Amino acid sequence: MAIIINIDVMMAKRKMSLGELSERVDITPANMSILKNGKAKAVRFSTLEAICRVLDCQPGDIIEYRPDENEEQ
């Protein structure tokens, strides 16, 4: 997939555990894990906003677009 999720990078920079982040964002640890591992099909803007608020970052710090190498231009 061309969308890369870097929540784990920001969590490490903030020295925050998955449990603490999910509690402060108010989503279940299981759902935060799905999002963190790039398995989610979508994310609500309200969830993205809460993650950015808690991690004190911008959406571009945690979501990145990288075109697939075999994708035609």
The pLDDT, as a whole number, for residue 71 is 60
pLDDT band at 60 (very low <50, low <70, confident <90, very high): very high
The pLDDT, as a whole number, for residue 2 is 87
Whole-number mean pLDDT of the chain? 92
User: Is residue 1 pLDDT above 70, yes or no?
Assistant: no
Query: Which CATH homologous superfamily contains domain 3-65?
Result: lambda repressor-like DNA-binding domains (1.10.260.40)
pTM for this prediction: 0.87
Q: With contact defined as beta carbons under 8 Å apart, do 65 and 5 qualify?
A: no
DSSP H or E segment with residue 29: helix 29-36
Reported as a single tens digit per residue, the pLDDT across 41-50 is 999 999 999 9
Break the chain into its structural domains and give their ranges.
3-65
